Amino acid sequence: MTGGGDLLAGKVVMVTGASSGIGAAAARVGARHGAALVLMARRLPRLEELAAQLRGEGAEVVCAAGDVTSPDDVKRAVGLAVDRYGRLDAAFNNAGTTTEPALLHETDDADYDTVLDVNLRGVWLCMKHQIKAMLAGGAGGAIVNNSSIAGVRATSAGAPYVAAKHAVLGLTKAAAAQYAARGVRVNALATGLTRSEMSEAVFARDPAAEERMRRRNPQGRVADPEEVARVAVWLCSDQASFVTGATMAVDGGAGAW
């Protein structure tokens, strides 16, 4: 989907959860396609290390340390884009978390709150401020929210995670319908098993989990983060100009089984 080198040329793109995994991959792919990047994550040293690498390759990058569950942090990150570049054209809301899965009736209240706050409230807050900036800029924009195959069916990730990722798809569709006429497109990814800190933590807790998950996937493998990032970048670009309210599966065919 991203064979050229200028899909995002001249565009200002915000990426959350950018310090590792799919978020960091999206920053790399976005930089290769000409985007000016605003990277947000809690771990500033990791962000700055990535930003330095990308600047060394000629990219324009600024970092916004912050937590997507904090209205002030999100507002500050979006404001950084507007103050530095004059506008915000696109965003990839990727930040997410999970806790050790448990049966619903045995799930700790704090674990539920953590998963819903980051995966759902975080997307809500980001869209709220991103859309406001895009409307103020007058040219619209594109938002991509990272959901999961857990957003379309129950998985072993646990009830709070499944609930949050289903809700992300609902937010995506609602926003797409509300803002389509004003030039803002909103889409989501239903990502499958991808190599990341989150998946590695799952495999560390349960060494047999990776093989089980591979067997459930028609391609029989774990995705590289850039395979997901390339789809997010395409959806942020003008090549996806007639795509909004969509949930794009990036799961190696897992949803087909």
Q: Residue 209: CB partners within 8 Å, gap ≥ 6?
A: 202, 203
Helices 109-116 and 159-179, axial angle in degrees (round to 10): 30
Which one of the listed residues 85, 112, 161, 179 is annotated catalytic? 161
Strand, helix or coil for residue 36: strand
Helices 71-85 and 122-137, axial angle in degrees (round to 10): 30
Strand, helix or coil for residue 148: coil
Burial category of 159 from C-beta neighbours within 10 Å (exposed 0-12, middle 13-18, buried 19 and up): middle
Give the helix/strand (H/E) hosting 189.
Answer: strand 184-191
Give the helix/strand (H/E) hosting 232.
Answer: helix 225-236
Strand, helix or coil for residue 92: strand
161 flagged as catalytic: yes
Active-site positions? 161
